[in-house]
Amino acid sequence: MNTSRICAVDVGNDSVKALFGKLDFELYIPNVIASSTEDRPVIGIEDLNEKDPVEGIHIKIHSPALKENNAVYRVGNLATKSDNASELDPGSNKSEEDQTLVMLFASLALDAAREENSGIFKKNNNVIDATYTLGTGLPLREVKEGKDVGYRSQLLSSVHQVEFLVTPKYQGIKVNIKFDEVKIYPEGFAAYINLVMDNNLNVINRDLIDKSILIQDIGGLSTDIAVIKNRNVDDDKAQGFNLGVSEALESIREEIRLKHGVELDSRRDVVDIITRKNDRNHIMVKGSRTSVHDITDRILLDLAKKEYRHLRNVWQKNSQTEICYFVGGGAIVLKEYIKTINNNLNGYNIEFFEDEKESIWMMANAYRKLISDFVRKNSKEIKSNEPIKSNQPIKNNEHMKQKVEK
């Protein structure tokens, strides 16, 4: 019988962040896919098995959960080099997109195929049977609409197979993925848990748990504003918006193409231009270092104003709020613009995470804490306690509320 391996996967609109086991493996993959054929040309085929599998993810997926079954994809960095690369579109629901599942299954298959896991999962004739206990999340808006129930059911009800095609080290390997349990957490709730608790869910920030706070999570396609009062997330007052940085990044990419004739492979390239330490907001045009500050400033400032308007509206409805924390990859992109707007207006008490990795990995870390705690408690109290239902209202989540109160 296979051991069920704990995994925490944040399928972000910009990238997938995944943590496995006792933090013995982590993955970061750009959330980009491209339809492909079962064969692909490789320069230097003899060196294929020396390369990092993450740089050449080429897979075929069979799963009843997918609208397009048995399709072949290039994933992540490999997909960004394709003419038909696909990123999630504004207005789409993460829980209803094949791309979300493709990225999730690819991440788990990359973990299952590792030689280090040969003692955990059975392997027979290049077929690996892998069982996972998954902690993941969805935007607050989708959870409030009940979309987490169908998403969880899709994952639990089937075996999902990932076949590695022309992928370094794993070519010819098939991974059958089965879920022992799936817990889906609202992203705002997860951010709160990560702010106030350590890896064992012991309170590490007692000053924060007694405050009325907001957490504004800015992603690629959506923004969630969680409202925390009385040590609990108020799901009635929490807000989710179809506003993220992806559309702005796409606009920057297009304007750079039109003005400078430079084709950027993906939104990931735009993020790199905006956030890198050296030569920020500069590109190379025909070998010359060229500023694109005028393009990025105008577009990102406009988006920052929209994000700030949402903050102001939610804060006005929750007037006793003491502080708002900005989290997520989008917050990193917009940080300086939002700070400038807030300072000019003598505005609110807001805070950003200066550690960019901490902000980017916040959701994955929170899911790992939550799913680890679920497994720990369930194994100890399986005879006396019912597992928490994934669609249980946030404000009635007594299990986590009690944890916070300790």
In a domain, 236, yes or no: no
Q: For the chain, what percent of residues have pLDDT higher than 70? A: 91
Q: How many CB atoms lie within 10 A of CB 277?
A: 5
Asked if residue 232 has pLDDT above 70, the reply is yes
Using an 8 Å Cβ cutoff, are 218 and 181 in contact? no
In a domain, 405, yes or no: no
Asked if residue 348 has pLDDT above 60, the reply is yes
Q: How far apart are CA 360 and CA 330, in angstroms?
A: 9
Question: Which of 39-43, 52-56, 67-71, 151-155 shows the lowest per-residue confidence on average (mean pLDDT)?
Answer: 39-43
Q: What is the mean pLDDT of residues 212-219?
A: 90
- CB environment 350-376: b (16+ within 10 A), e (fewer): bebbeeeeebbbbbbbbbbbbbbbbbe
Q: How far is CA 255 from CA 81, 105, 259, 333, 380, in A?
A: 20, 34, 6, 18, 57
Q: Which helix (H) or strand (E) holds 103?
A: helix 98-112
In a domain, 347, yes or no: no
Sign of the dihedral defined by the CA atoms of residues 303, 304, 305, 309, in that order: positive
Contacts of 317 (CB under 8 A, 6+ apart): 237
Task: Name the band, by pLDDT with cuts 50, 70 and 90, for residue 279.
Answer: confident
Question: Which of 20-34, 100-114, 350-364 shows the lowest per-residue confidence on average (mean pLDDT)?
Answer: 350-364
Q: For the chain, what percent of residues have pLDDT higher than 90? A: 58
Interhelix angle for 329-344 vs 293-317, to 10°?
80
Q: How many CB atoms lie within 10 A of CB 169?
A: 17
Using an 8 Å Cβ cutoff, are 63 and 101 in contact? yes
Structure tokens at 117: 């896991």
In a domain, 149, yes or no: yes
List of E strands, 116-200: 122-124, 127-138, 160-164, 174-186
Sort 123 into a burial class: Cβ within 10 Å, 0-12 / 13-18 / 19+. middle
Q: What is the pLDDT of residue 197?
A: 83
Its pTM stands at 0.83
In a domain, 287, yes or no: no
In a domain, 349, yes or no: no
Q: What is the pLDDT of residue 47?
A: 65
Asked if residue 88 has pLDDT above 80, the reply is no
> Among candidates 311, 382, 392, 378, which has minimal Cα distance to 350?
311
- CATH number, residue 42: 3.30.420.40
Per DSSP, 325 falls in state E
Q: How far apart are CA 216 and CA 245, in angstroms?
A: 13
Categorise residue 353: left if φ over 0, alpha if ψ from -120 to 50, beta otherwise.
beta
Structure tokens at 33: 């896919």
Per DSSP bridges, beta strands 71-75 and 174-186 are: unpaired
Asked if residue 258 has pLDDT above 90, the reply is yes
- CB environment 172-181: b (16+ within 10 A), e (fewer): ebbbbbebeb
Asked if residue 231 has pLDDT above 80, the reply is no
Residue 203 CA, distance from chain mean position: 24
Q: What is the pLDDT of residue 43?
A: 57
In a domain, 37, yes or no: yes
Q: How far apart are CA 183 and CA 390, in angstroms?
A: 6
The single residue listed with the structure tokens 């299952």 is 112
Task: Name the band, by pLDDT with cuts 50, 70 and 90, for residue 266.
Answer: confident
Asked if residue 50 has pLDDT above 80, the reply is no
Q: Domain range holding 116?
A: 4-187
Q: What is the pLDDT of residue 275?
A: 86
Using an 8 Å Cβ cutoff, are 220 and 328 in contact? no
Query: What domain count does the chain have?
Result: 1
Q: What is the pLDDT of residue 236?
A: 80
Asked if residue 3 has pLDDT above 90, the reply is no
Phi, psi of 21 (to 5 degrees): 55, -135
Using an 8 Å Cβ cutoff, are 148 and 244 in contact? no
User: 245 vs 197, which has greater pLDDT?
Assistant: 245
In a domain, 182, yes or no: yes
